[in-house]
Amino acid sequence: MDRMETRVSIIIPIFNVSGYLVDCLESCISQTYKNLEFICIDDGSTDDSGSIVEHYGEIDGRFKIIHKPNGGLPSARKAGIEIASGEYIFHLDGDDSIPADAIEQLVGIAIKDDADIVIGDYLKIDEDENKIYIDSRLNGVQTGEACLNSILAGGLFNIWGKLIRRSLYIKNQIHIPLRISIGEDLVQMIQLSCYSQRVSSCKTATYNYYVRPTSMSKQDKNVTGSLTDRSIYAVQFITDFLKDKVPALTLNLLRGFVKRFIMQYMRSPYPVSIRRKELSDLVSFINEDKDMRAIRTFQDLICRIAANSLPLAKELVRMSKIYKQ
């Protein structure tokens, strides 16, 4: 297939980002690749975001505008996917932007490799415009299983900045349960990787990710604990989704992933009583495999103790932090 015949739908969820939105939309219409549609989902914005996207809809016919009540990021992206017509989808947040040749680079690799997903590197840009190049750490063409294993081993799992074959969403009913408010990208990428045959990498930056001063990490004094507490539903979903359908290597990586999360929760300021059932289910999953019960590290010890007493495991982690000070 000729690359210029390959239509790409750029899905842009928007909520109160009027100060950054023009840069985002200008980066879209400046793309060197032209066979595009821009699906802007105004997710109940109360600032000028809605009128800004309407203006761009008037000057460029490739824009499709949806105004909907606020439902959160997953629902906004879902609304965009439902009306997308491209063979591939590209997710772009309304306060970020993309280099002018981003889509051209990604489509070229998708066509060459017949890839279901093409993963680009990206630039992380802070409020002082300092840029850090983030490497996806994937090279060449991988299987979906290899991509899945990379994520479980601690690799990048952002949904934005990737070219994704739309049929993966349609044929496999990729979904995010409503109670998941943190970890949506992780849940989505786990599912997409599981159903992919070929995943390619683009070793250039195809996304500009901006760290904004208004982000949660700047405002929430207990952000680590808060994010950990809220992400437990994502970890629980991933465990339930994968545990009966993946080979032994991936299952071991999944158990290691869950073990690291449990340790992270034990370090958070939140009492285990809040998530007793969820934590108990995750600890039980780890201990289903006798090889995972071996105590080689402090993390192993805490997970073994947690199987009998979550409060005791929590207290031991707290005491270890005091001792290290």
| Non-local CB neighbours of 218 within 8 Å, separated by 6+ positions | 212
Instruction: Find out whether 26 and 18 touch, Cβ atoms under 8 Å.
Output: no
Amino acid 76: pLDDT? 94
Structure tokens at 311: 């409060």
Amino acid 202: pLDDT? 95
Amino acid 293: pLDDT? 64
Amino acid 62: pLDDT? 97
Beta strands (DSSP E) in the chain are: 8-14, 36-43, 63-68, 88-91, 117-125, 131-134, 141-142, 162-165, 199-210
| Non-local CB neighbours of 307 within 8 Å, separated by 6+ positions | 283, 284, 286, 287
Residue with token string 């539903």: 233
Structure tokens at 130: 């300092």
In angstroms, the CA 31 to CA 102 distance is: 7
Pairing of the two strands 36-43 and 131-134: unpaired
Structure tokens at 27: 């980066």
Mean pLDDT by 10 residues, the chain (325 residues): 80 96 98 98 97 97 96 93 97 97 98 97 93 92 96 94 96 90 94 97 96 56 67 96 93 94 92 93 88 78 91 91 63
DSSP 3-state of 68 = strand
Amino acid 4: pLDDT? 65
In angstroms, the CA 137 to CA 121 distance is: 8
Structure tokens at 72: 């959160």
Instruction: Find out whether 114 and 198 touch, Cβ atoms under 8 Å.
Output: yes
Q: What is the pLDDT of residues 146-176, one digit of tens each?
A: 999 999 999 999 999 999 999 999 999 898 9
In angstroms, the CA 72 to CA 138 distance is: 30
Amino acid 300: pLDDT? 87
pTM of the model: 0.91
Amino acid 228: pLDDT? 85
Amino acid 322: pLDDT? 67
In angstroms, the CA 190 to CA 237 distance is: 10
DSSP 3-state of 201 = strand
Instruction: Return the H-helix or E-strand segment holding 35.
Output: none
Amino acid 214: pLDDT? 59
Which of these, 220, 221, 205, lies nearest to 121 by C-alpha position? 205
